[in-house]
Each structure stands twice: as C-alpha cells, then as structure tokens.
Amino acid sequence: MVHIYVVMKSNAAIGNILTRVSVRSFTDQPVVSDDIETILRAGLAASSARNMQPWHLIVITRRETLNAIADATPNAHMAKQAPLAIVVCGDLSKAASGWEQDFWIQDVSAVTENILLAAHALGLGAVWTGTYPSKERCNEMAMLMRTPAHIIPFATIVIGHAQSSPEVKDKWCAAAISYETFGNFSRQ
C-alpha cells in the first residue's frame, strides 16, 4: 500500500486517476471557457479503434437546457445546479461496419473517461450519467439535443465546481484480478 502513495505523489497522472470521484453537487460558479476547451481536447485525445473517432460532443452551458436534461433523465438531476454538461454521442456515420460497428461504444467510453479525468485535473467535479443503452433515455436526449438518427447519445457528463467532494474510495480488489488465465491469482 505504501508503494501506491509514493507513486501518486511522484506521478500526477496516477494520482489524478486514483483520486477521481463522482461529484453530484455543484456551486453556481461557471466553468471558464479555457477549462472547457481543455476538457474537450482531453476527451478527443482518447484512443479509438482503427482511429475511426466515431464521436460527437455537445457542450451545454445554457441554464434552460441543463434544466431540461435534468427533467428528461432523472439520473442527471444534478444538471439543475451545474454550470456545464457535455453530452457524449456516438456518430455511427464514422463507426466501422459489420461486427466492428459496436467498437464505437468503447471509443466513446474512452472519451467519457478522459473528460472525467481532465475535469478532475482542473479541480472540477464531474459525474458520468448513463444514457445508452436505455432506449428511453436515448430517445429523450436525442429529442432534446435534436440529433440526427446516426448520432446516438451515450452519456451526459455533468461538470462544475464541487459544492462538496465525496471521499475517495479505494477500489483495489485482488479477487478481481487473475494472472495469465482466469482464476489464477498468483503472479508466478
């Protein structure tokens, strides 16, 4: 356990990953435009299968739209108090075809995680609220965001200055890790 704390102190990226938490309460302080651009750039730097980049981001700062998101998707109720949301969408017109088409889900998941980590690195709080694969939530967000049929709302990330920060959870679980083959818990 001591090793991980040494790594966290000497490596900002590892520290950022291990201390990120989901924040669901925000102040009304706006997120500055430079921070929004940094967050977007970090999101779009995500890995992508075959570099297809099948994503589209919708940035929301208007209070009416944030309130509408909260009303349309109950798991994003905190958007009513947040100054920013980013709707991460899959763009099926950029996705691979055939059996590879569903790689878009992994690609936009990577974008979503990058956005969460970037927000945390900037001292902001954020929470990933799921939309896809719920048909109801996808339809609600698609109507609200006025997306064409090939743009699939995947998740809404609600972002702002944290009103309070939840305690960091140690999620390490050795039983969730196998070495070489499933069920082999020995490193040798």
* pLDDT of the chain, 188 residues: tens digit per residue: 556 666 667 799 999 999 999 999 999 999 999 999 999 999 999 999 999 999 999 999 999 999 999 999 989 999 999 999 999 999 999 999 999 999 999 999 999 999 999 999 999 999 999 999 999 999 999 999 999 999 999 999 999 999 988 899 999 899 999 999 999 888 87
Q: How far is the C-alpha of 178 from the C-alpha of 158, rounded, in Å?
A: 34
CA 32 to chain centre: 19
Pairing of strands 151-160, 125-130: antiparallel
Domain coordinates in residue numbering, the chain:
2-164
User: Mapping DSSP to helix (H, G, I), strand (E, B) and coil, where does residue 160 land?
Assistant: strand
Q: Report whether CATH 3.40.109.10 matches the domain 2-164.
A: yes
